[in-house]
């Protein structure tokens, strides 16, 4: 009898242990399923799990990976990589390439947050290799975006831009709208930094990103675009727009780092709008945090300018001293950047010495005419060499551009909404039908049209404030729907009504007289491509 009781109790203990472990497994799986669409909910579930209760190495590794992923997706800055290393070491030991790709990617993200940029890039490269082996088609877009960002913060803008273009291509191919938004927004920032001649291109890319981001309720998707647009409009001198997007950016922020930068951006916008009291409030709030020295240095500069306007000489001196101190602290965190700059500077210095020695030798050894002849010949050789180098550099960019347009064309023509549109148009040739596009399908068609024709909808809407009907008419003309059937898709208008609206639209966008709407739209699309 005693033995029977012991056996029953032992069985109950085993059953209880299995049930508890099964509950934890279910929670981990649930958190994983929520990760893409509701990362905040995933993080809350993971925080409710006690790591000490996880009994196997597999569960601990899975938990470590998911928690790191959830914190990254919720923009939590992670400075300790001991957690993600649990996942990395476990998945490396069992050779699970799919999980190795994710684990090394998020180790790269933590190292990015720690400021270990070179080590972060190494982890991204390892992750990319495993992703190819595991045929993970989603991870490369994230890897490219992160590598491009690290190049961008090191002021290697040309390299960053090329990688962001690849990230954009992959995002379109995988229908990853969030990655596409980020890639477009960052390309816009790079064009902004290139100078005034690129402002219009930067605005187009950022507005394209905003058009896509507005469909998301998650503010973390929108805030980078708001920040980019505010910065752009500040540089363009359109202060009201800059202030509008700076406010949207500030009130959408959730974490300390981005709230600190948002305060600087909003304070700067108020300053340029000559609202100095409001500017001072937001600029002073930057100093409530212990870190972010570069942001604090910029705030000091603006506060010194405000003090100068008000004639407060003591505050000017104080802010200037603080600015220097913060800049020194910030410089210590940019050692890699400083090393790169020193190498480039040293190379330039060495090249200058070589050129001088070469020039002096020529002056001593040859006559004026010989020098002139040599100079002409050298100039000719250099010019040809530069042309060849430029041509070689353009080849990969051209290939990327051709591939990009090919993918976009394929995505447009194979989309469900385009196929449905063409099917309805073919049906209308034979019989009447009540079938039409619903509101969601219209929105999808507008986004696809905007991407395929180089941001034409964003451009026209921003410049001429088109109505919903006018945008729909543009989409249908570009989709090559016959004019006699266009009215079916828009409130059942007659052909004459559609032609009248097309004529009014041509006048609204100030098109040359005698031109057809479709020709004007195609011509404008080519201009936007340049």
Question: Is the model more confident about 77 or about 254?
Answer: 77
Position 65 scores a pLDDT of 94
- Contact by Cβ (8 Å): 108, 149: no
The residue assigned the tokens 């530069």 is: 386
Backbone φ and ψ of 258, nearest 5°? -75, -30
Q: Does domain 1-136 have CATH number 1.10.10.10?
A: no
Cα–Cα distance, 391 to 372 (Å, whole number) = 28
Question: Is the model more confident about 282 or about 491?
Answer: 491
Q: What percent of the chain has pLDDT over 70?
A: 77
pLDDT range class, residue 135, cuts 50, 70, 90: confident
Share of the chain residues as helix, strand and coil, in percent rounded to the nearest 5: 85, 0, 15
Least confident of 7-21, 94-108, 416-430, 432-446: 7-21
Question: Is the model more confident about 447 or about 321?
Answer: 447
Which of these, 168, 78, 169, 58, lies nearest to 120 by C-alpha position? Answer: 78
**Ramachandran region, residue 159 (left: φ > 0; alpha: ψ -120 to 50; beta: rest):** alpha
Position 336 scores a pLDDT of 47
Position 36 scores a pLDDT of 81
145, 293, 366, 374 from 382: Cα distances, Å: 35, 44, 21, 12
Residue 235 has pLDDT above 50, yes or no: yes
Contacts with 149 (C-beta within 8 Å, 6 or more apart), sequence order: 112, 160, 186
Position 297 scores a pLDDT of 74
The domain limits of the chain are: 1-136, 410-529
Cα–Cα distance, 353 to 222 (Å, whole number) = 50
- Contact by Cβ (8 Å): 114, 81: yes
Model confidence over 326-342: pLDDT tens digits?
676 666 555 544 443 44
Name the average pLDDT for the chain.
Answer: 79
Model confidence over 361-409: pLDDT tens digits?
556 555 666 666 666 767 777 777 776 666 666 666 666 667 777 778 8
- Contact by Cβ (8 Å): 265, 249: yes
Look up residue 466 and give its two tokens: 């088109």
- Contact by Cβ (8 Å): 39, 28: no
- Contact by Cβ (8 Å): 274, 302: no
Model confidence over 410-419: pLDDT tens digits?
888 888 889 9
Position 386 scores a pLDDT of 72
Position 417 scores a pLDDT of 86
- SS3 of 54-92: CCCHHHHHHHHHHHHHHHHHCCCCCCCCHHHHHHHHHHH
Least confident of 242-251, 257-266, 461-470: 257-266
H helix and E strand count, the chain: 25, 0
Model confidence over 470-497: pLDDT tens digits?
999 999 999 999 988 898 998 888 888 9
The residue assigned the tokens 């603006």 is: 302
Q: Is 118 exposed, middle or buried (0-12, 13-18, 19+ CB in 10 A)?
A: exposed
- Contact by Cβ (8 Å): 494, 487: yes
Model confidence over 80-106: pLDDT tens digits?
999 999 999 999 999 999 999 999 999
Contacts with 151 (C-beta within 8 Å, 6 or more apart), sequence order: 157, 159, 160, 163
175, 502, 519 from 487: Cα distances, Å: 30, 11, 19
Q: Is 52 exposed, middle or buried (0-12, 13-18, 19+ CB in 10 A)?
A: exposed
| Helix (H/G/I), strand (E/B), else coil: 501 | helix
Position 15 scores a pLDDT of 44
């Amino acid at each position: 009898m005693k033995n029977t009781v012991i056996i029953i109790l032992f069985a109950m203990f085993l059953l209880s242990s299995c049930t508890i472990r099964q509950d934890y497994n279910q929670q981990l799986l649930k958190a994983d399923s929520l990760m893409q669409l509701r990362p905040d909910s995933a993080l809350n579930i993971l925080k409710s799990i006690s790591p000490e209760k996880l009994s196997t190495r597999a569960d601990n590794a899975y938990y470590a990976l998911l928690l790191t992923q959830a914190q990254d997706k919720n923009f939590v800055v992670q400075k300790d990589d001991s957690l993600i290393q649990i996942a990395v070491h476990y998945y490396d030991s069992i050779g699970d390439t799919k999980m190795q790709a994710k684990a090394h990617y998020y180790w790269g993200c933590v190292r990015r947050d720690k400021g270990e940029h070179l080590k972060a890039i190494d982890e991204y490269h390892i992750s990319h290799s495993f992703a190819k082996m595991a045929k993970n088609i989603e991870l490369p877009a994230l890897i490219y975006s992160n590598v491009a960002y690290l190049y961008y913060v090191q002021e290697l803008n040309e390299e960053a831009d090329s990688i962001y273009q690849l990230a954009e291509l992959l995002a379109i191919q995988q229908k990853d709208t969030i990655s596409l938004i980020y890639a477009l927004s960052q390309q816009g920032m790079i064009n902004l930094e290139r100078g005034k001649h690129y402002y219009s291109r930067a605005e187009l890319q950022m507005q394209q990103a905003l058009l896509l981001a507005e469909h998301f309720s998650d503010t973390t998707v929108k805030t980078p675009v708001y920040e980019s647009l505010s910065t752009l409009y500040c540089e363009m001198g359109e202060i009201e727009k800059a202030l509008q997007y700076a406010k949207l950016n500030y009130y959408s922020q959730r974490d300390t780092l981005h709230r600190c930068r948002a305060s600087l951006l909003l304070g700067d916008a108020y300053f340029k709008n000559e609202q100095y009291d409001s500017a001072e409030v937001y600029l002073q709030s930057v100093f409530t945090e212990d870190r972010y020295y570069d942001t604090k240095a910029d705030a000091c500069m603006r506060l010194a300018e405000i003090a100068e306007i008000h004639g407060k000489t003591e505050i000017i001196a104080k802010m200037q001293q603080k600015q220097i101190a913060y800049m020194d602290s910030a410089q210590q965190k940019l050692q890699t950047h400083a090393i790169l700059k020193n190498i480039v500077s040293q190379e330039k210095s060495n090249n200058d010495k070589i050129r001088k020695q070469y020039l002096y030798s020529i002056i001593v050894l040859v006559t004026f005419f010989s020098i002139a002849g040599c100079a002409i010949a050298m100039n000719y050789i250099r010019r040809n060499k530069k042309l060849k180098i430029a041509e070689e550099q353009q080849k990969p960019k051209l290939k990327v551009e051709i591939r990009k347009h090919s993918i976009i064309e394929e995505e447009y023509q194979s989309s469900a909404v385009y196929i449905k549109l063409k099917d309805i148009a073919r049906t209308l040739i034979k019989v009447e039908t009540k079938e039409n596009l619903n509101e969601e399908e219209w929105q999808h068609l507008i986004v696809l049209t905007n991407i395929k024709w180089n941001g034409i909808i964003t451009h026209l809407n921003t410049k001429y404030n088109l109505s919903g009907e006018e945008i729909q008419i543009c989409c249908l003309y570009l989709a090559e729907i016959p004019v006699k059937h266009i009215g079916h898709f828009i409130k059942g208008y007659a052909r004459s009504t559609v032609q009248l609206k097309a004529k009014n639209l041509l006048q609204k966008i100030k098109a040359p007289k005698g031109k057809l709407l479709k020709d004007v739209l195609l011509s404008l699309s080519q201009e936007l491509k340049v």
